[in-house]
Chain A
């Protein structure tokens, strides 16, 4: 478990990093927290010629709010999402989800953008990005583009990033006031990638769900948002009926692969179960936030 020979570069500026990516293209790999890349290197599953380490680039270490968006720079560690109370206020789903990512040791190194760029279909943060409609800022020497989360994830461990692009920032829209969010996951052991995870958000109004978001991890090749299930929640004035319909929709639509940890059938079952549990939780939170505790 030793990597093959590679060239190592640790630029101090974004420009230098982009220059290196432009020069080496697909032969280069960005090193952020290294929590996924280092195992891949050691197992010789990734064989880049050049590793571009972005850990020296201080300019990428920011977590700020701007015009209703939470902007997370590429060097921000996952642990910061848990530590900064502001994150819970702005994008509560991030705070909820990040505690399911590995263990504190992992999150102390692993970055938010690294998790998104790595695009494991069972990872938590990509599902959050899809659920809230995050926008991912890709930079290369030829410019900047903003990619909606749902278009970013194109397959297992593949994204819309071009080889010369750096995922410089992830932008998460701040939650609206009447929204409640919940994230639940089933894994064999705490800290593992999800057998199935569900991110849910509902907007409460007039004692019912007015708007909803449902996204799933571990339920397909990419994190998926289920608009059919969201619609079911909004259509039914009775919460439990809506939940039943949304769960059935999840079970019907999702086509996860089976593997040694969970059959496709078990994953679909979990998707349905977690749909119900997250929506109930999100609903309770939405009502608390909107101040309306009445029926």
Chain B
């Protein structure tokens, strides 16, 4: 092969188009006669709806439709579908398209207005009269678990949706043998994803063709299509869902269904005109899913040498008002907690609890940062108690490279055993420590101290479950032009699939990566698949792409063999041509091969398996694959102003075979930025009545280039044995260990204070309080 595309740092195919503003995002969809929708949302966290009067809104001259719960067809009056059931999820309560008789969080949709412009639609929202009877709001997670001050769903008699226990070995027995037990309470507060593009839906109904077309800024267009077909009684072939360019997903855009995803199509069908709804940022804060609040009561039991005998975590998970997505986040949290360490005895137990807050579903990390925070903090505290070096305690507990596959003993989010496929944990840590100069750190730190500066070194290790099933598929087609078209069901939200997947194809077919056009997220182009989540696209779709491209390659060799009168074994693919090895003048272009594979007359040999240079393949991994990494950073703390500055940030990252290091670096940079945001800047703060106090970018502080350090990425490659390309997921590794790392770094910077960071995210005010309290404790 002349060029090796796989693993090359290729600039993204999609960038020129996006950079000059030629992307197609949902709000760019303009259709003749299009109408605009707005949603009336509950101003209360918890209230009964006594009466809704829409008459004045309907009188507005620009208004065409006002919907409340009673106006919906029977299939939409029911709670929306349950996504991922689980035996422990006793009360799988899901959200409504429009609230029937009660609202359960601020922002829950109550009425839906369609007008000739968004302005008029918003004017009309003010004309809808809703008579609410406010109820006590369930805000505090522990109170909620105890059923106080009210029940979010009265009919189930509890706020606890699920109680789940997983055990490995016997923690109690291990504890009884331990030389040291460290127990603490850890809290991770709410956060949200904040993609640049908020959600949005455009729907068009063609009454003659009976075709519904929906543009949706979603991570899962195919499940959305399937669900819409079921709800509206249409054939799947008559519903086309397109997730065009999507301006960031990060998890919350895979829901099925957000109310607007059914209301917009319904309105388009009722009115016979296209309808657009674009979520504004204020809506986004309350109407797009959140993540993260968990309270962990955790402990670790060790022997004198710092070897882990067991870990226990008993935690509460804040599900928000409904739990459509099931138990994924708490399960991922408990399954990520053990990380790269051998933990012979483990007890994980959680309650998922309803509160009067926005629904929780996975957001980049999806429980992993919580698990890692708890585990890494426990090790830090244990090391301190044992007087042991914090790197050493980790070294003593790492799973070793020869121990793979390693069965953790738990059941993972895909209901399969949690078995690590491969990795090299000790090497990653040593590399990171070397890079930040850990062995020279005491002197370095003293030098800073002498200048009056407080600088801390922090690091944290993690394992990232990724690349789970069930399957993805791909069709690769070589057209007579010689260009290659690739269609797959996973959507793309900025991950660069149009490039990384194209590289897989270019590698197999010996074509230029620029000649490979990847279509994702259009059910009209490829109709089988699940979606982009759990860092699985490169692994699962990437493998399907590989299989399809290899099949096309075989076929190209077969067809070309007859054209060139050579045997397939003597042929090679390069530069968009099939050549006879050693006889470069005897060659034919891939386009010509494609044409020959689709003759107008004659016979197609049976071994071609049909016409054209085309193949479709599916890949269904046996189970997930596990990436891992170590982050290490130097953080300067100004103890007087309780503010931070990152001086260095190093990531050692192992996600198996690297398809494109540039794209991978971008994933990691973005992840670290989001991790830093979620650890120190961004906060969702609710008051006692369940009102979100930080519901705008004035108060929800996403860090900017000023706050985010340059991130140095080092790739370690331990391929996965579970898929043909050896890839592992890389979508979440950037965020996962950041809270743990930051806590350790701050404690190191302020090590003359008795300071324990047990809660994330921090922010200057919280850090100030910690410092004040610690100062008072030490004379």
Contacts and interface: CB of A to CB of B under 8 A. Distances in A.
A5 B281 contact: no
Interface string A163-204: 000000000000000000000001011111101000000000
Contact of B764 (A4, A5, A190, A266): A266
Interface in B735-779: 763-765, 768-769
Contact of A191 (B694, B706, B765): B706
A270 B772 CA distance: 13
A273 interface: yes
A188 B764 contact: yes
Given A190-B704, A273-B641, 9 more contacts: A1-B281, A4-B122, A186-B643, A191-B704, A262-B765, A263-B765, A266-B768, A269-B768, A270-B641
Interface in A195-250: 195
A5 B694 contact: no
A2 interface: yes
Interface of A: 1-5, 43-44, 103, 186, 188-193, 195, 260-263, 266, 269-270, 273-274
A26 to B, nearest CB: 21
Nearest to A193: B698
Contacts of A192: 698, 701
B441 to A, nearest CB: 28
Contacts of A263: 765, 769
A261 B643 contact: no
Contacts of B123: 4-5
B646 interface: no
5 contacts: A44-B122, A190-B707, A262-B764, A263-B769, A266-B768
Interface residues of B, number: 30
A261 B704 contact: no
Interface in B258-285: 280-282
Interface string B615-654: 0000000000000000000000000111100000000000
A192 B694 CA distance: 14
Given A189-B704, A266-B765, A43 B282 contact: yes
Nearest to B694: A260
A192 B681 CA distance: 12
Contacts of B769: 263, 266
B643 A190 contact: no
Given A1-B282, A260-B694, A260-B699, A186 B706 contact: no
B83 interface: no
Given A188-B764, A189-B703, A1 B280 contact: yes
The 5 closest A-B pairs by CB, nearest first: A1-B280, A190-B706, A2-B119, A273-B640, A189-B701
A192 B703 CA distance: 11
B503 to A, nearest CB: 36
A192 B697 CA distance: 10
A195 B282 CA distance: 23
Nearest to B707: A189
A266 B701 contact: no
B229 interface: no
Contacts of B698: 192-193
B520 to A, nearest CB: 30
A193 B699 CA distance: 10
B708 to A, nearest CB: 10
Contacts of B642: 266
Given A260-B685, A261-B699, A186 B764 contact: yes
A262 B702 CA distance: 17
Nearest to B642: A266
B230 interface: no
B681 A188 contact: yes
Contacts of A44: 122
